[in-house]
Structure 1
């Protein structure tokens, strides 16, 4: 009890004092007449509590300062941590900057030179790392490819060989006879033979073979070539019944109407004055036939045939 009064007299603070409350000295308590009392005054119930607990109460200013100190500690720790992070980041950036600006080692520079030289030998479309080129987009997937792609060219129509129209037969000839007469006239026109010579050639063929391509029964070889009839007059073959044994040509050549007509015109041009001769005399000069006047009977029809084939 005495200890409690002593603490009160020294200005101990109440546990329920406000933080900003000022301490005021308390007058010493007077003892009552009836001796010491085991109870404290009603206005100081908490003053003796710190004493009973064995803890000395701190001034309000000290308590307030402690709380401020404890609140400032996390802030300082956070600031220190942020500063440390900034310093580490700045150091890393400086190292990276130094490594980037630092010139390459000799081995690295040599390797880069080798890659550059190798790139010059490679196609321009290939990269230095030799990575595979990307697959080009199909024309349907790329708008640029659509614009640059040319439309497929339309197929050109195939040229079909047109067979010339066969001449209409005249002068009582069959179609086969008229076709052979046309070959004789066409060869003469190509050789620029005068019209009289065309008539002589057609009249001669009409007398010798009736304008049919003959093979010879005496020459089996002649029958291996296209023919329209077979004769037995020695080795005479073809439209003009020319004999291979007389030097007119080979069997194979004489069986071709165009060659046979050309051989006849060549012999006719060698006859002196043939243009002033009659058809019979000119034909006989070339053919040397046993019937020299037989050609005259075909002259008029021959003229009709030539006129039909040259107009």
Structure 2
């Protein structure tokens, strides 16, 4: 009887220790876990709110915006394209979807949007979306939702409207209309996974990134660099009296930053 009592006592003690350990993890330990990488887009209206993206989503949004700028599309078109991709794929380059839909815009090869590999190429997919949008009469006079629906012919024709606020904020950050509005934090930068020269050439249409720029262009390139920082290993960007570093994860005042400069991990 004494042996059984002692065993029960030990069981109670172990159970208490387990409970205490679990409570410590929930209340203390979890606060010491590293924050996941992410990107933040500030409210363009100056409010306290913001929009959160993963680095992958930010990179895809930057690609969509850059292709639009390269094609000479107005900022409204970038907002329409981003709202469309937010609804169709959550800015994730999906391998599949409804029927044969794929990619950021869920374009269908069977409907003449291109081959499967083409619609999975973010640059091709964005360019094709803009071409279809531009071909629609009077699209510039339409709301974001209605312009998107003209291109997509969705079975949920009003679904794009709910993304207008976020798409507008992201578009303003990526086209340079909102300076220093996009920042990425807690990045785990390693050797670049892609070529900055090739990516800039394909998306921005130029490899001349550093140097003097007019404000909108300089901020657009700066935002593009930050949004792609995780893939291209960019750890510092400076422009127009501000600088962003991967270490700080935010833009700060920097009087030494005048012309656009940036630095990649592993370069001199």
Measured against the shorter chain, the TM-score band is 0.3 to 0.5
Q: Which has the larger radius of gyration?
A: 1
Query: Please, what TM-score do these two structures have when normalized by structure 1?
Result: 0.41
By relative contact order (CA 8 Å, sep 6+), the higher-ranking structure is 2
